[in-house]
């Protein structure tokens, strides 16, 4: 297999513009419109300046650090540190503490990191006080010793790898360990070329360790060169058959990228993270897009189809969890197969690209896979290029790139909407789903249907409640009116027939005096005795 | 390939062929018919968006990887991603619709922007000859345009299986012929490695 012709893989964001410097070569937006050569020149100038600034900053921090250590007991060890050690640190491995300082050497978030790092250094100083001098000395030595001094000799034999060299494996995870073991097992079937492959991989990893300060594009180039060289060597020098070369290349990629992943995936020197967030936000803003708008030939009412859709979404989300570019591609392929199945079940005929791309777009919108741009960039930069240019995996990956590009550019026209509707949906004023809730209900899942039913019920209850409240109020008013009415009536009657009460005593004492006609009355009869 | 060893005399090439054209001109049907006819047993179970077909020509064994593309107009702006690194392109139009031919011309302009002339084999394909009665584009019209742009030209019918495998074979032969020319001229490899277009065919010596 001749890989020479495909040296550089594909650059997804390549535009047609010529280099801004007018040198006649093509430029690349990733290099701000320069060609590789002019960009490197420009970049070096800027970088030189950056390094100068960083040095000054580092020098100041160094002083601060020394002061912090000086206050601890370990003055000796700290003072023996000179600034020149910082140079070594640049090529040093990322240990916990170096990461802190290393942040200052990256272009992005420099000012923000400043404060944090200062705090960290102060904290370390405080911690230092509690430790004894020997401990700190040892720690410092560890930090400032370049990795190649710690590393065991590079002449690594296959057996030796079982006791991995500290330079690479100091921080290896269980997964990395497992991958290494598998790789060694695999290489044993290749005999002599296997040993050679292993040596070359180790050498490459060591080189990459020292090249961490290079831009990600340059690192990508190194990896692509490495893939190509190994493949060529296997083919020409060891006369390995093309199938076996391909197999070996897959394993090599797995071995290398498992180790390189954390350094080259979404590195802070690029704006990958910013792009990730932008895409994520964009997809979130497009939550209202329905399959109808995209003309997706998938009917989610069919349980089998909705099952496929869910699986496809799971696959595309799972991509982020993989470390090896090829595994990520496999996730995309799996997702695509599920999409094809969904279309096939719905339409009852094999899907064409006219059906596939809209559905993939719909799946991406529905799933909002994490770190989409970073993943695409990572695959583009570090996947074996032959996988991307041709083959099924490459086809589906290209489709995913198309889908993302489409989502970024998506406008009213591409959804067959009027500009006003599009703007209203984008601003969240209305949602197409609410308007069409009646015609839409069959599409919704059971839970949403139940929710709408419950909402209706709640509305009814609310109405009844209000009616009761208003009636209660009326009753209350009636009651008050009635009491008032009664009171008034009683008062009227009282006024009409005033009650006169005569003095009680008078009446009793002069019960006779009042009797005016008393005089006219004949004298009371006196008892007389009659003899009879 | 001017090699002397046995396996070099009959190399295997892998070529990427993109199908371009509006919706419903029959891009997918064309590819489907081509693959289906020759290999009944290995029918694509899923879809016909990505298909492969191996051809045994005199000079070499050729594996064509056929990439179907979404033809809807709204995806036009992203489709340039599809034909990156392609070795051949089939511009398909519908002979019963003049509009599809003008869309095919648009595609050609896009391709001319992306590729140098000798980097890609382009074939103009007028599909649906079974609908002769509704023909809007004459054979001469298509032929003339193809000639002026130096394209391969053929009229086909995916439905009645007319000239389907012929068109793919013609493309494959042209690709292999160019491979031979390249080897004869022994052109130096492109020096600017950032150039995305310097991608020649992959070649497997079996």
pLDDT digits (tens, 9 = 90+) for A154-170: 343 434 444 444 444 44
Confidence of residue A397 (pLDDT cuts 50, 70, 90): very high
CA distance B176 to B55: 11
pLDDT at residue A146 is higher than 60: no
Q: What is the pLDDT of residues A370-385, one digit of tens each?
A: 999 999 999 999 998 8
Q: Evaluate the CA torsion angle A37, A42, A48, A54 in order and state its sign.
A: negative
- A327-331, B53-57, B137-141, B199-203: the lowest-pLDDT one: B199-203
Mean pLDDT on A238-259 = 88
Count the helix, strand and coil residues of chain A and give each as a percent rounded to the nearest 5. Answer: 70, 0, 25
Q: What is the pLDDT of residues A97-116, one digit of tens each?
A: 444 444 444 444 444 444 54
- A61-70, A266-275, A501-510, B39-48: the lowest-pLDDT one: B39-48
3-state SS assignment for residue A382? helix
- pLDDT of A87 reads 46
Q: Which residues in B lie closer than 8 A to residue A246 (C-beta atoms)?
A: none
**Domain for residue B198, yes or no?**
no
- A77-81, A194-198, A303-307, B118-122: the lowest-pLDDT one: A77-81
CA nearest B1 in A: which residue?
A: A2
Q: Which residues in A lie closer than 8 A to residue B30 (C-beta atoms)?
A: none
What is the token pair recorded at A497? Answer: 């027939």
Q: Tell me whether residues B195 and A406 touch, CB distance under 8 A.
A: no
What is the token pair recorded at A357? Answer: 């791309």
Q: Does A487 touch chain B (CB under 8 A)?
A: no
pTM of the model as a whole:
0.63
Contacting residues for B49 by C-beta, under 8 A, at least 6 apart = A340, A351, A352, A353, A356, A395, A399, B28, B67, B68
- A130-134, A233-237, A393-397, B88-92: the lowest-pLDDT one: A130-134
Closest CA–CA distance from residue A303 to any residue of chain B (Å): 19
pLDDT at residue A468 is higher than 70: yes
- pLDDT of A25 reads 77
Q: Does A333 touch chain B (CB under 8 A)?
A: no
- pLDDT of A188 reads 85
Q: Which residues in A lie closer than 8 A to residue B68 (C-beta atoms)?
A: 352-354
Q: What is the CATH number of the domain that holds B97?
A: 3.40.50.300
Q: Which residues in A lie closer than 8 A to residue B5 (C-beta atoms)?
A: none
How many contacts, defined by CB atoms under 8 Å, are there between A and B? 136
Q: Are A206 and A167 in contact (CB under 8 A)?
A: yes
Q: Tell me whether residues B202 and A1 touch, CB distance under 8 A.
A: yes
pLDDT at residue A13 is higher than 90: no
Average pLDDT over chain A, rounded to whole? 77
CA nearest B82 in A: which residue?
A: A398
- Nearest CB among A8, A390, A402 relative to B14 is that of A390
pLDDT at residue A460 is higher than 80: yes
Q: Are A332 and A395 in contact (CB under 8 A)?
A: no
Confidence of residue B21 (pLDDT cuts 50, 70, 90): very high
Query: Alpha-carbon Rg of chain B, whole angstroms?
Result: 17
**Interface test with chain A among B3, B42, B47, by most A beta carbons within 10 Å:** B47
**Interface test with chain B among A10, A245, A343, A352, by most B beta carbons within 10 Å:** A352
Q: Which domain holds residue B86?
A: 2-178
- pLDDT of A42 reads 79
**Domain for residue B59, yes or no?**
yes
Q: What is the pLDDT of residues A419-450, one digit of tens each?
A: 888 988 888 877 776 555 444 555 567 788 88
**Domain for residue B183, yes or no?**
no
Q: Tell me whether residues A398 and B114 touch, CB distance under 8 A.
A: no
- pLDDT of B123 reads 95
- Nearest CB among B48, B78, B196 relative to A14 is that of B196
Specify the length of chain A in residues.
Answer: 532
Q: Does A179 touch chain B (CB under 8 A)?
A: no
Mean pLDDT on A474-488 = 96
- pLDDT of A518 reads 61
CA nearest A391 in B: which residue?
A: B65
CA distance B186 to B177: 14
Q: Does A239 touch chain B (CB under 8 A)?
A: no
**Domain for residue B148, yes or no?**
yes
Across A148-162, A263-277, A311-325, which has the greatest mean pLDDT? A311-325
Q: Which residues in B lie closer than 8 A to residue A23 (C-beta atoms)?
A: none
B128 DSSP assignment? -
CA nearest B70 in A: which residue?
A: A354
Q: Which residues in B lie closer than 8 A to residue A232 (C-beta atoms)?
A: none
Number of structural domains in chain B: 1
**Domain for residue B91, yes or no?**
yes
**End-to-end Cα separation, chain B, in angstroms:** 13
CA distance B82 to B16: 10
CA nearest A1 in B: which residue?
A: B204
- Nearest CB among A16, A340, A386 relative to B47 is that of A340
């Amino acid at each position: 297999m001749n890989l020479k012709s495909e040296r550089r893989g594909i650059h997804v964001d390549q535009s047609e513009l010529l280099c801004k410097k007018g040198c006649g070569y093509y430029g690349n937006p990733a290099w701000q419109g320069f060609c590789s050569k002019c960009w490197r020149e420009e970049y070096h100038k800027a970088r030189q300046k950056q390094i100068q600034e960083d040095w000054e900053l580092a020098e100041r921090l160094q002083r601060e650090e020394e002061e912090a250590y000086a206050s601890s007991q370990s003055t000796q060890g700290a003072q023996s540190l000179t600034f020149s050690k910082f140079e070594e640190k640049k090529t040093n491995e990322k240990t916990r503490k170096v990461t802190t300082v290393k942040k200052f050497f990256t272009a992005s978030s420099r000012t923000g990191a400043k404060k944090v790092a200062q705090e960290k250094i102060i904290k370390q100083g405080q911690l230092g006080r509690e430790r004894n001098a020997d401990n700190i000395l040892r720690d410092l030595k560890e930090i400032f010793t370049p990795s190649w001094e710690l590393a065991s000799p590079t002449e690594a034999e296959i057996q030796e790898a079982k006791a991995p060299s500290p330079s690479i494996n100091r921080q290896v995870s269980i997964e990395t360990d497992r991958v290494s073991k598998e790789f060694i097992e695999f290489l044993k079937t290749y005999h002599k070329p296997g040993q050679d492959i292993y040596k070359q991989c180790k050498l490459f990893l060591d080189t990459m360790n020292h090249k961490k300060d290079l831009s990600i594009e340059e690192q990508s180039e190194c990896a692509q060169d490495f893939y190509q060289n190994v493949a060529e060597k296997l083919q020409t020098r060891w006369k390995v058959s093309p199938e076996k070369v391909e197999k070996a290349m897959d394993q090599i990629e797995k071995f290398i990228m498992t180790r390189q992943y954390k350094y080259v995936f979404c590195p802070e020197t690029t704006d990958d993270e910013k792009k990730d967030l932008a895409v994520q936000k964009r997809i979130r803003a497009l939550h209202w897009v329905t399959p109808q708008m995209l003309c997706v030939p998938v009917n989610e009412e069919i349980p089998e189809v909705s099952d496929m859709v869910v699986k496809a979404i799971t696959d595309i989300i799972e991509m982020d969890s993989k470390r090896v570019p090829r595994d990520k591609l496999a996730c995309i392929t799996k997702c695509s197969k599920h999409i094809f199945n969904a279309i096939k079940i719905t339409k009852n005929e094999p899907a064409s690209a006219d059906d596939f791309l809209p559905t993939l777009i719909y799946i991406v919108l529905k799933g909002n896979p994490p770190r989409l741009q970073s993943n695409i960039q990572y695959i583009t930069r570090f996947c074996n290029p032959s996988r991307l240019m041709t083959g099924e995996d490459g086809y589906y990956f290209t489709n995913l790139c198309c889908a993302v590009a489409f989502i970024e550019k998506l406008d009213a026209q591409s959804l067959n909407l009027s500009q006003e509707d599009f703007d209203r949906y984008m601003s969240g004023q209305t949602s197409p789903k609410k308007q069409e809730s009646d015609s839409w209900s069959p599409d919704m899942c059971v839970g949403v249907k139940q929710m709408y039913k419950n909402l209706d019920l709640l509305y009814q209850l609310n109405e009844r409640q209000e009616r009761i409240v208003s009636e209660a109020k009326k009753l209350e008013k009636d009651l008050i009116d009635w009491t008032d009415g009664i009171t008034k009536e009683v008062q009227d009657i009282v006024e009409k027939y005033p009650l006169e009460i005569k003095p009680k005593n008078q009446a009793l004492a002069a019960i006779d005096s009042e009797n005016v006609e008393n005089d006219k009355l004949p004298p009371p009869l006196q008892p007389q005795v009659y003899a009879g | 390939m001017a090699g002397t060893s046995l396996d070099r005399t009959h190399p295997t090439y892998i070529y990427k062929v993109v199908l371009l054209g509006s919706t419903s001109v029959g891009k997918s049907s064309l590819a489907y018919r081509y693959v289906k006819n020759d290999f009944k047993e290995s029918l694509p179970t899923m879809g016909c968006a990505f298909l492969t077909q191996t051809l045994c020509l005199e000079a070499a064994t050729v594996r064509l990887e056929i990439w179907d593309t979404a033809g809807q107009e709204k995806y036009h702006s992203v489709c340039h991603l599809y034909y990156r690194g392609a070795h051949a392109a089939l511009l398909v139009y519908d002979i019963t619709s003049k509009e599809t031919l003008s869309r095919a011309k648009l595609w050609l302009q896009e391709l001319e922007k992306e590729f140098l002339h000798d980097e890609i084999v382009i074939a103009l394909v007028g599909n649906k000859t079974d609908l002769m009665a509704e023909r809007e584009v004459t054979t001469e019209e298509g032929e003339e345009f193809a000639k002026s742009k130096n394209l391969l030209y053929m009229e086909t019918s995916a439905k009645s299986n007319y000239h389907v495998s012929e068109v793919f074979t013609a493309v494959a032969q042209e690709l292999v012929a160019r491979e031979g020319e390249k080897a004869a001229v022994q052109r130096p490899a492109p020096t600017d490695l950032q150039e995305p277009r310097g991608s020649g065919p992959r070649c497997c010596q079996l």
